[in-house]
Amino acid sequence: MQVAWQGVYPAMLTPFASDDTVDLALFDRNTDAMLEAGVDGLILAGSLGEASTLTTEEKRSLVTRTLSRTAGRVPVILNIAEASTRAAVEQARLAESWGAHGLMLLPPMRYRSDDRETVSHFQAVAAATRLPIMISTTLSTTASASPSTCSPNWYDMRI
């Protein structure tokens, strides 16, 4: 599926049940409500979606479940917010193998990388997957991913 990168792509909430497992029934209802509202794509495991605390299996379950539920109507994007480039590369490869249509990528979490390190992180992840990438940033927990930092380097990435 081609990702247009325009329109409304909400970062989905990942609800939890009282036993600390993902509440899949509530997640499905939320997915259906987003589709009924006419969104153009869905972002899973964003900042409100517990990106850095979900297990790999929980992320896989959310991606494959959402792909099944959306049935090709909208792109399904997985957010990658990892503490290291190695972990981000692994998540990108997994997201591609699970069938995600694209990635939302943050600089390494909990470490304020400089511009060179940030660009290197993005380049390493882009080189590890064929998926298109949207850059995001959470200034309270990551380095800046400003256009002035990234734009000279976009030509060799799918960003």
Residues 63-113: tens digit of each pLDDT: 999 999 999 999 999 999 888 999 999 999 999 999 999 999 988 876 677
What value does the mean pLDDT take over residues 47-67?
88
Closest by CA to 75, choosing from 41, 108, 109, is 41
Torsion of Cα atoms, 11 then 110 then 149 then 97, to 10°: -50
> pLDDT band for position 57 (50/70/90)?
very high
Where is 116: in which H helix or E strand? helix 115-128
Q: What is the pLDDT of residue 155?
A: 45
Closest by CA to 64, choosing from 22, 124, 4, is 22
Could you tell me the sign of the dihedral formed by the alpha carbons of 155, 85, 1, 38, in that order?
A: negative
Residue 102 near residue 133 (C-beta atoms within 8 A): yes
Give 13's Cβ-side CA count (13 Å radius): 13
Crossing angle, helix 85-98 and helix 56-70, to 10 degrees? 30
Residue 159 has pLDDT above 60, yes or no: no
Query: Which domains does the chain carry?
Result: 24-156 (3.20.20.70)
pTM of the model: 0.86
